[in-house]
Chain A
Amino acid sequence: QLQLQESGPGLVKPSETLSLTCTVSGGSVSSSLYFWGWIRQPPGKGLEWIGNIDYSGTTYYSPSLKSRVTISIDTSKNHFSLTLASVTAADTAFYYCGRSWTSANRFDPWGQGTLVTVSS
């Protein structure tokens, strides 16, 4: 059974860089069938797609975040990562990783999520 688990600091200072990793178990990030994605949700608000990456490192980003986001993949460690630069309080959110299909970009399963707070 595929499982995803987010990890990283829960507190980031304004103007610094947020970095999270999603570790995949029960499956391989090297499969050409899937995308691996990041989605976020400010507390009490809706869902926002951040971006996807495939096994070769090809990325797709939300236009609203594209200038600050980098998603990378490490097939040797079976994980993928998110960095978000120059964060502000507006970036405070639950961050989820998820798997989608290259044939159908819907997420299943999702990681449990991790709360990242931007504050000094």
Chain B
Amino acid sequence: DIQMTQSPSSLSASVGDRVTITCRASQSISSWLVWYQQKPEKAPKSLIYAASSLQSGVPSRFSGSGSGTDFTLTISNLQPEDFATYYCQQYSAYPLTFGGGTKVEIK
């Protein structure tokens, strides 16, 4: 199985900050990576797919980069509605696997 390791597991930030979350795969997954945002009591929502492609309707302050084993989700100019938990998922191979999540909290 491909292990996905996210860091940090949580972070505190202020509105307007730039936030970076990383996701590392245990083997190369090319660009087969998606980032999800999950708010409390809600289903995850796709933000970035193919490592760097913005899902339709997602604000441009969200961006993704990376390929191979190392990936980054960046939120520039953090907004109040961005406080949530973020997950990465690899879809290079079965079984599909998720990172452990990064909770973005208000400082």
Contacts and interface: CB of A to CB of B under 8 A. Distances in A.
Nearest to B87: A47
Interface of B: 1, 32, 34, 36, 42-46, 49-50, 55, 87, 89, 91, 94-101
B10 to A, nearest CB: 13
Interface in A18-54: 37, 46-49, 52
Contacts, number: 57
Nearest to B101: A46
A58 to B, nearest CB: 12
Contacts of A16: none
Contacts of B44: 47, 96, 107, 110
16 contacts: A46-B99, A47-B44, A47-B87, A47-B101, A48-B98, A96-B44, A104-B32, A104-B49, A104-B50, A104-B91, A105-B91, A106-B46, A106-B89, A107-B36, A107-B89, A109-B43
Contacts of A96: 43-44
A113 B43 contact: yes
Nearest to B96: A49
Nearest to A105: B91
A112 B95 CA distance: 23
A70 B30 CA distance: 30
B45 A110 contact: yes
Interface string A79-120: 000000000000000001000100011111111110000000
What size tier do the contact residues of chain A reach?
A: 20 to 34
Contact of B94 (A60, A104, A113): A60
Contacts of B96: 37, 49, 52, 105
A34 to B, nearest CB: 13
A49 B95 contact: yes
Contacts of B99: 46
Contacts of A48: 98
Contact of A107 (B46, B50, B101): B46
A46 B100 contact: yes
Contacts of B49: 104, 106, 108
A106 B98 CA distance: 11
Contact of A108 (B32, B46, B98): B46
